[in-house]
Copies of this chain bind each other. A is one copy, B any other.
């Protein structure tokens, strides 16, 4: 785990991020000069819920699990992929993290001091607009997740998740799960045992599983069962 000021070679990647692409050069450089980049091995806890939010985190490569605990139980809330930020809301409100974060694999993470983010927000209109847009996007994602949880059974959630993955994989009829099944179960709000059975229960709708490989034999049939809804399942809207 190496800690150092951000190498300038990372600037272009970050600059392309929706969050930073519309801002002026000077405030961008202010942010970058205060930032760090770190390389983390898998399964390292980056932040712990309840801690104060000193840095905005940006996933440059790898992936990060956002999870929460209560009373000895734990659940996966979301996954952060490159190139995106996490714990933006805590940074902005200068409030404690509501979720913990751990690397899922070897990951490269940029850390931007929260106070710099707040200061540059006031100084650069393009950045302000991007922050608000990103935050609104995050909000809408959680609302969709909550609808998914409250309105659907676990089998329906799995079916719709598979449809999302299928679309994400370029509308082919075979693809690999991007999560460990154990985590997928947690994300979908069920136990690993129940996930195993849910996969079998989707067999009549043309879903075949081999390890982490998924084949959807009859997309129409699966859709008929899953009843996907853009207001729950579309990542973009």
Contacts and interface: CB of A to CB of B under 8 A. Distances in A.
A9 interface: no
Nearest to A138: B139
A147 B232 contact: no
Q: Which of A50, A98, A131, A149 has the most CB of B within 10 A?
A: A98
Report whether over half of chain A's contact residues are helix, strand or loop; otherwise say mixed.
helix
A217 to B, nearest CB: 23
A88 to B, nearest CB: 8
Interface string A219-237: 0000000010101100001
A198 B159 CA distance: 31
A193 interface: no
A200 interface: no
B132 A50 contact: no
A98 B129 CA distance: 21
A128 interface: yes
Contact of A70 (B75, B77, B147): B147
A73 interface: yes
B125 A122 contact: yes
A136 B89 contact: yes
A98 B132 contact: no
A129 B122 contact: yes
B98 A140 contact: yes
A143 interface: yes
A146 B135 CA distance: 17
Contact of A147 (B95, B98, B144): B98
